[in-house]
Amino acid sequence: MVSRSPRIKEVRPVLWILLLPMLAAGCASTSEPRGPAAITGPIVARNLTISIGTAPTIHVKQAASDPCGIIFALRSSTRVLRRTGDGRMTSASESDLTVGQRVSVWTDVVLDSCPAQASADAVEILE
């Protein structure tokens, strides 16, 4: 018969105490983007050709009367998010972004043109 060391039995509860917060963090909601959004408004077009990249893109305007708006290139690093009914942020996919949908978009740099162009860091679906 193999007997286990009493030290191993003492270590197990400590390991669980250390591992449980990490496991809970893995199940937690996705973190929110930092700082203010570059723009909030409806998506007015998809997959337009722009000088900073190719499709997929979204063209967002603050209002229908806005003559320019911003066309965002969606990169593999772009986080697409959606808020749940209880206020948590969860992941969504690029295919969830449709014309007419209201979004907020975060970016670091916007190229000044009409329409402006940028790479999206994060997109939150609002509706």
58: helix, strand or coil:
strand
pLDDT tens sequence across 70-117: 999 999 999 999 988 888 999 999 999 999 999 999 999 999 999 999
pLDDT tens sequence across 50-82: 888 777 999 999 997 899 999 999 999 999 999
pLDDT tens sequence across 16-52: 454 444 444 444 447 888 899 999 999 999 999 888 8
- Cα–Cα nearest to 105, from 14, 15, 29, 42: 42
- Cα–Cα nearest to 40, from 108, 121, 116, 123: 123
Distance CA 79, CA 75 (A): 9
pTM: 0.75
pLDDT of residue 127: 73
